[in-house]
Amino acid sequence: MDDLWGDEAELDVVIEDPRWDGMDLPALAQRAFAATLDHLGLNADDWGASVMGCDDAQIAELNAEFRGKPTPTNVLSWPSDDRAADNAGARPVPPDPQDAHLGDIAIAFDTCQREAAAGGISPADHVMHLLVHGVLHLLGYDHIDDADAELMEETEIQILANLGIADPYKTGLG
């Protein structure tokens, strides 16, 4: 995705669906962003990203445009650079300090609420998980290959534990 929301070392949050205001998406996003970067030894103040809180209709349009899947999903991410590791299961390449904006994330209110209810977990905890997941994607983590998926899941679980959030893979929401 083109960098639509910023290019500086800050976290920009755009609210497209006002229901996100009730969850304080900016605070959740800041907390997830900082916890993820801190866990990986990066100073959150040195990096930026954009998060858009939208609804299912808007994320379905983005999913269709960028992934060819015209259905809603919970979270999408667009890294500003390819940071994937050369070998499956290896840690991704650290971001280039000259490119402070890591990329963009979109998260869908409806799907997040539905999934949290189905999993019997708090919507805020589920959103935190999805935001951590999205930030890891911006940093080159992925789950297409089994070895990469294992690394990403382990990293998510550790970050979420540091935030006091239970392992989402035990609830079936991973």
Per-residue pLDDT of the chain (174 residues; tens, 9 = 90+): 344 444 457 999 999 999 999 999 999 999 999 999 999 999 999 999 999 999 999 999 999 999 999 999 999 999 999 999 999 999 999 999 888 999 999 999 999 999 999 999 999 999 999 999 999 999 999 999 999 999 999 999 999 999 999 999 886 655
- Domains for the chain: give ranges and CATH numbers: 11-163 (3.40.390.30)
Burial of 91 (0-12, 13-18, 19+ CB in 10 A): middle
Residue 1: the pLDDT is 38
Residue 170: the pLDDT is 83
Residue 173: the pLDDT is 57
**pTM score, whole prediction:** 0.93
Give the bridge partners for 14, in sequence order: 52
Cβ proximity of 12 and 52 under 8 Å: no
- CB count within 10 Å of CB 165 equals 21
Residue 171: the pLDDT is 67
